[in-house]
Amino acid sequence: MRVLIKVKGKCTTDHISAAGPWLKFRGHLDNISNNLLIGAVNIENDAVNKVKNQLTGEYGGVPDVARFYKANGLNWVVVGDENYGEGSSREHAALEPRHLGGRAIIVKNFARIHGQFLSRQQMEDIIVACILETLVSTRNV
Which pLDDT belongs to residue 129? 46
Is the dihedral angle over the CA atoms 105, 107, 111, 112 positive or is it negative?
Answer: positive
Instruction: Give every CB contact of residue 114 below 8 A, 6+ residues apart in sequence.
Output: 13, 84, 85, 86, 89, 93, 94
Bridge partners of 104? 77, 124
DSSP-derived secondary structure for 36-97:
BTTTSBBTTTS-BS-EE-TTT--EE-HHHHHHHHHHTT--EEEE--SSBT-SS--THHHHHH
Weakest mean pLDDT among 53-57, 63-67, 125-129: 125-129
Domains of the chain: residue spans and CATH = 2-135 (3.20.19.10)
pLDDT tens digits, one per residue of 100-111: 999 888 888 877
Ranges 21-30, 32-41, 65-74, most confident: 65-74
pLDDT at 8 over 50: yes
Report the mean per-residue pLDDT for the chain: 82
Q: How far apart are CA 116 and CA 21, in angstroms?
A: 26
H or E element at residue 125: strand 124-127
The pLDDT confidence band at residue 89, using thresholds 50, 70 and 90, is low
